[in-house]
Structure 1
Amino acid sequence: MPAPRLRLLVTRPREDAEPLARALAARGHEAVIEPLLEIRIAEGPALDLDGVQGLLLTSANGVRAVARRTPRRDLPVWAVGDATARAARGAGFGQVESAAGAVEDLARLIVARCDPSAGRLVHAAGTAVAGDLSELLAQAGFTVDRQVLYAAEAAEDLSPGTVSRLYAGTIDAILFFSPRTARSFVRLAGRAGLSERLGPVTAFCLSEAVAHEVRTLGWGAVRTAPRPDQASLLALIDPLVETRREPGSHSGSPKECGPENRGMRDE
């Protein structure tokens, strides 16, 4: 078996990390899964969806949570991004449209597609959300019923295996998909004495909001996806392979790549 092109640390919750690891393996990389958030879906009665004109889904975890709380699949779904839209289709929802971006893009999509007088919108949310979707839509006259259906609990420590790999310098890059996950890593890396040992490592961030959270650490580089979606983030990885082949590629000061992107989504 050929050696992996890169060894990448994946910090997403396990439900999302495992398909991402398979996608990375298909590109020839090795993924080390280190979930920094654990998703706990809340139990409860079936959702009251009478008079609802549609569902707002801002993460794949929201899809899983709402799918467990209602058997209905007839309502329109508006998803923050393509990955969330795919999860909704996979859960059996037939009318799904993606905003292909962040919560601001989702709000604009709703304003363009929906009528405030046609009924309330239900946002399947976690206990912590990125961006204020309800407020953005309230300004346009919509009523948003934010249903807290899951919790994302932060990890208390990095696993011993991950700490050992980072100390040994065998992790090439770390992937971050949310500001909360990024903040959690910064805290845990400091606790493990790793803050000054990340010079060989590149941080790949879904958005500028995510990148902002990790810049306190001494990375070899921080790279930001041009759009807040997984495909854009993965597209940043292949150029790193070519960089690593160049002599002295780890020297110099940290680099930045990618335009500013304030878009956020939930984990």
Structure 2
Amino acid sequence: MTETQMGPLVLNTRPETDSAELLAALDTRGYRHLSAPMLAISFPAPEKPFDISPYQALIFTSANGVRAFDQLSRDRTLPALCVGDATARMCREMGFANVLSANGDIHDLATLIRQKIDPASGPLFHPAARKTAGDLGGMLRVDGFTIDRQTVYEAIACDTLPQNVIDALHRHHIDAVLFFSPRTAETFVKLVHSYKLEGALAGVDAICLSPAVQSRISDLTWHRTHVASQPTQEYLLSLLGSVVTACRT
């Protein structure tokens, strides 16, 4: 959609690798959208062959972790325990048959692992970014789990905003901004200060995946900030619909 079409205008801040499903959902719901990815995802080539044999299961806290694992190994025999449904769908697309979703955040994933995995049966492999939200290994260590967390991709903070996004903010055309991670939110705040766009957000609603995400944008002046009742894209989009409807009635 283009900015000149009718309908609420939403700013997507997710990395490009994670945006296709979200943008399709926005199109289906009749939103216009602009994108300003706050993180660029890089998948370095593996330095050596990966041996999956020591592990009893895989842990995925993002779809990018699944994409990175695909470069490490073609083995799909181990169970894949995923933080949410989008990550679980990516696992199934990559050929995993035994996939479980916590349908939530890392606390829900830790609970799922405790319920489904016996720590005495061996370690778990967690392919992740260098910086992650929360310490999943620390949560599970007290229960006797051994988590081998390895950095398999980089999420690099962007240092610019697209010109069309800057123009739309200056003109107060954007109705809502979507935030899916604390680091994405932090990067957005830095860029707002860098471009001196603080005053452009007074009429904008911030739609956040979790309280942790909301806390990272709290020093900006928004029309309102909102948190999804569950940390999933489905609930975030439902919240967006409620906010936009309320603003237009």
What band does the TM-score fall into relative to the shorter chain? over 0.9
CA offset at residue 153 of structure 1? 0.1
- 2:180 and 2:136 map into 1 onto residues whose CA distance is 18
Aligned 1:1-267 pairs, distance under 5 A: 3-44=5-46, 45-246=48-249
Aligned to 1:252: none
Q: Give the Cα separation in 2 of the matches to 1:215 and 1:71.
A: 43
Give 1:183 deviation, angstroms. Answer: 0.5
Distance 1:81 1:245 in 2: 31
> Aligned equivalents of 2:226 and 2:67: distance in 1?
30
| Structure 1 stretches of 4+ moved >6 Å | none
State whether residues 21 and 33 of structure 1, in contact with CA within 8 Å, keep that contact through their aligned partners in structure 2: no
TM-score, scaled to structure 1: 0.89
Please give the secondary structure, in 1, of the residue aligned with 2:115: helix
Q: CA deviation at 1:49?
A: 0.8
The answer (yes or no) to whether the contact 1:5–1:241 under 8 Å persists in 2 is: no
CA distance in 2, matches of 1:8, 1:201: 10
Structure 1 SS opposite 2:187:
helix
SS of residue in 1 equivalent to 2:112:
helix
Amino-acid identity (%): 41
> Which secondary structure state, in structure 2, belongs to the residue aligned with residue 128 of structure 1?
coil
Gaps of 5+ in 2: none
Count matched residues: 246
Question: Given residue 7 of structure 1, which amino acid in structure 2 is its aligned partner?
Answer: L
Q: What secondary structure is seen at the aligned counterpart in 1 of 2:199?
A: coil
Task: Find the aligned partners of 1:242 and 1:225 in 2 and give their Cα distance.
Answer: 16
Distance, in Å, in 1 between the alignment partners of 2:170 and 2:246 is: 22
Deviations, residues 111-151 of structure 1 (Å, cap 9, x unaligned): 11111111110001101011111111111101111111000
Q: Point out the more displaced range, 86-95 or 234-243.
A: 234-243
Q: Deviations over 1:192-225 (max 9, x none)?
A: 1111220111000000000011111110110100
Q: How many Å apart are 1:101 and its aligned residue?
A: 1.0
CA distance in 1, matches of 2:98, 2:133: 24
